[in-house]
Amino acid sequence: MARMKFLCDAERCIECNACVTACKNEHEVPWGVNRRRVVTINDGKPGERSISVACMHCSDAPCMAVCPVDVFYQTDQGVVLHNKDLCIGCGYCFYACPFGAPQFPQASNFGSRGKMDKCTFCAGGPEKDFSDAEFKKYGRNRLAEGKLPLCAEMCSTKALLAGDGDQVSNIYRERVVARGFGSGAWGWSRAYPGQGA
Amino acid sequence: MNKTKKIVIAAFALALASGLAGCRDEEQNRPLSTSKSTYHGPSDDKLSEQQLREIRHRMNIQAGGQI
């Protein structure tokens, strides 16, 4: 199995925020913490696009590189997880992450932000699978139940894809061929100028 | 060296020793390490082949298929 990946199809996302709500509900995420959010560009103008953003579970994750206490690790499926018992709440991961994925329960200074929280790809944490401790710290472990992240599974337009990177890319490739134009991916025209929208 | 000074030094040494003694994994109730770039916490449970098969199967729903 390839690495687990998220991909948001900007041509399909209708900014309903159901992925955000589903995530908060499934993991009982506290107030002030958003593991996932929907970002809209050109709001109300021609060319408006929305994408759902959370931790992208980077192959070479910058959060892992900057963490002074090494709380991060990757599972065999490439999911970037962290250990809240080791976190000192310094916030370096927040500054390093290009997606703004790391979240903190309190907005205050060094060491008083509380333990970092982020998307776990619905894979829980280092605690024993299905234990109360795992749920309280990291939320539900859907991967261990043989399920995919809820945000992607309940997406009504199937804009948000999650799972084995090979399968995700196959689904997306078929969509691009069916559409018959560009990739529809957010940022495509900037990455490949002059090659269609 | 007068007696007061000796007592202060002894008290300082005692406080330092007790402070350092509180830097063990068991007392902090978390893994402690001074070596960089290595995760030292408990390892995650690995997914079985059956679990991975079920996950792959559920990918078909995202492709427009049925369960």
Mean pLDDT for back-to-back runs of 10 residues, chain B (67 residues): 86 83 71 72 87 90 68
Residues of chain A with pLDDT under 70: 109-111, 181-186, 188, 195-197
Short-list B6, B40, B9, CA closest to A69: B40
Q: Work out whether the CA dihedral A150, A162, B53, A80 comes out positive or negative.
A: negative
Question: Is there a contact between A146 and A163 (Cβ–Cβ < 8 Å)?
Answer: no
Residues facing residue A72 across a β-bridge: A82
Question: Is A144 in CB contact (< 8 Å) with chain B?
Answer: yes
Residue A196 lies in a domain: no
ipTM of the complex: 0.79
Asked whether the beta carbons of residue A72 and residue B39 sit closer than 8 angstroms, the reply is yes
Residue A49 lies in a domain: yes
Residue A175 lies in a domain: yes
CA distance A88 to A78: 24
- Residue B1 confidence (pLDDT): 61
Question: Is A1 in CB contact (< 8 Å) with chain B?
Answer: yes
- Residue B22 confidence (pLDDT): 67
Q: What value does the CA radius of gyration of chain B take, rounded to a whole number of Å?
A: 27
CATH of the domain at A143: 3.30.70.20
- Residue A183 confidence (pLDDT): 60
Instruction: Give buried/exposed letters for B22-61 (b at 16+ CB in 10 A, else e).
Output: eeeeeeeeeeeeeeeeebbbeebbebeeebbebbbebbee
Q: What is the mean pLDDT of chain A?
A: 90
CA distance A139 to A196: 41
Asked whether the beta carbons of residue B55 and residue A171 sit closer than 8 angstroms, the reply is no
Question: Is B67 in CB contact (< 8 Å) with chain A?
Answer: no
Residue A126 lies in a domain: yes
- Residue A24's CB: how many other CB atoms inside 10 A? 17
- Residue A128's CB: how many other CB atoms inside 10 A? 14
- Residue A142 confidence (pLDDT): 96
Q: For residue A56, what are the domain limits?
A: 4-191
- Residue A57 confidence (pLDDT): 96
CA distance A101 to A55: 5
- Residue B16 confidence (pLDDT): 83
Asked whether the beta carbons of residue A129 and residue B45 sit closer than 8 angstroms, the reply is yes
Q: Count how many domains chain A has.
A: 1
Residue A197 lies in a domain: no
At B26, which amino acid appears?
A: E
- Residue B34 confidence (pLDDT): 63
Asked whether the beta carbons of residue A83 and residue B52 sit closer than 8 angstroms, the reply is no
